[in-house]
A and B are shown apart, each in its own frame.
Chain A
Amino acid sequence: MGEIVSAFATSHAPGMTGLPHLADEKQRENIYQAFGELRKRLEAARPDALVCISNDHLTNFFLNNMPTFCVGVADAYFGPPPEFEPLVGVKPRTFPGHLELGRAILGRALEEGFDPSFSGELIIDDNFAGPLHFLTPEKEIPLVLIIVNAVEPPMPTLERCYQFGAMLGRALRKQTAAQRVALLATGGISHWVGTPEMGQINVDFDRRILDLVARGDGQAIARLSDEEVASAGNGACEIRNWLVVLGAVAGVPFDVLAYEPMYPWITGIGVTAARL
C-alpha cells in the first residue's frame, strides 16, 4: 500500500528561472530559499515517485483535442522544448517516468468514474521545468505527470479538480507500484498571461488563497466563483492544479514558506508544503 510522504503546491513562471536578474534580490532569494527548503523536505521523505500536477501551455495539446485531465503513462519525460528554453532559461533534459504508477492512477480514475485521457509522451514546459530545476537538480525521482486544462475554457470546475485530487489520494494509497509518493502541484497564484492586464498581481487574492491552503481548506477554494478567480487573472485558473493536491491530502494544513508578488516575473509566487 502506498503512502503520500510529501505534498507541495507552488507557483511556476518562466521568469523564476529565466529572468532572475530582473527581480529584487531579497524577494528572489526568499523564493529560492523556500524552494531549497522544499528540496530538503523532499529528499528527507525519500520518495519512490513524484506525481506532478499542472496545466500545459498549449505545448502538448491544442484546441483540436484538449483533455480536461490527462494522466502520463510514460517511462520518460522531456523538457523544456525549444520555444520555451530561452524563456525558462534551464537546459532541456530527460526525466525518468514512473510508468507503472501512471497506469495505476489512470486505472483508479476510470474505476471511479473520472475519464481522463492518457499520454505516453508529455513534454515539460515551464509548468514543471522551473520547479523541478530547484527540487531535483541532481537526484532524479521517477515522475508521473498529470495535466489539467487551465488554459482554455471550458475548464473542469474547481470542485471537480478537488474531487479528482481526492481520487488521486485514494489511488496512491491503494496501489503497490510505488511505496512512497510525493506530490507537486504548480501554477498560479494571481497573474495575467497574454491579456491586456498582463503584469498586474492581485495580492489580496493571493493572500486569501494562501491562508486557506495554510488551513488545509481546499474545499473553501473549490467553492470560489469563476468571477473571484478571474479577479486574479487568467493565470489564476491554475489554482485547479493546487486543488488536486489539496484534495489528495484533504484537511492537512500547509506551511506557507514564501510569498512574493514578483512583478518582473508577472506572477504572484507562492511556495507551500503540507505538514505531513
Chain B
Amino acid sequence: MSVYHVNKLLHEVSRDPELAERLKTQPDDIFKAYRLSDDEAEAIRNRQLRKLYDSGVNPYILLKGAIALGIGFPQEYLQLMNQPQ
C-alpha cells in the first residue's frame, strides 16, 4: 500500500462533504474502497495526524482533509500534529 491512497482519500474528503460525512458513519467501507492498509485506516480513525504526516502524506492535503473532518484550525490541528504518536 502506498501513501498515495491516503492522499487520495483525504483530498477527496476535502472537496466532497458527503464523502466526509460517510467517512464518519461508514469508515470501514470507505477505507476498503480506497485500498488503505489497516495501519493507515487506524491512523485516520484515531486522528493520528502526526503519524500520517510522518508517513509522507502531503501537508496541504492533510490540512484540508483534517478541516473537512471537523478538526479545528489551527489550534486543534497543531495539537494533534505535535502529539507524540
Contact = CB atoms under 8 A, between A and B. Distances in A.
A195 B81 contact: yes
A151 interface: yes
Interface stretch (A45-53, A55-63, A96-104): A55-63
A83 B14 contact: yes
- Chain A contact surface mostly: loop
Nearest to B57: A194
B60 to A, nearest CB: 5
Given A58-B61, A63-B4, A63-B58, A198 B11 contact: no
B24 interface: no
B74 A198 contact: yes
B8 interface: yes
Interface in A184-218: 193-196, 198-199
A266 B59 CA distance: 15
Given A63-B4, A83-B68, A196 B15 contact: no
Interface residues of A, number: 17
A152 interface: yes
A63 B7 contact: yes
Interface string B50-61: 100100001111
B59 A58 contact: no
Interface in A33-71: 57-58, 62-64
Interface string A138-163: 00000000000001100000000000
Contacts of A63: 4, 7-8, 11, 58
Given A83-B68, A151-B60, A193-B59, 20 more contacts: A58-B11, A58-B58, A58-B61, A58-B64, A62-B8, A63-B7, A63-B58, A83-B14, A83-B15, A193-B63, A194-B59, A194-B60, A194-B63, A194-B77, A195-B53, A196-B53, A196-B81, A198-B78, A198-B81, A199-B74
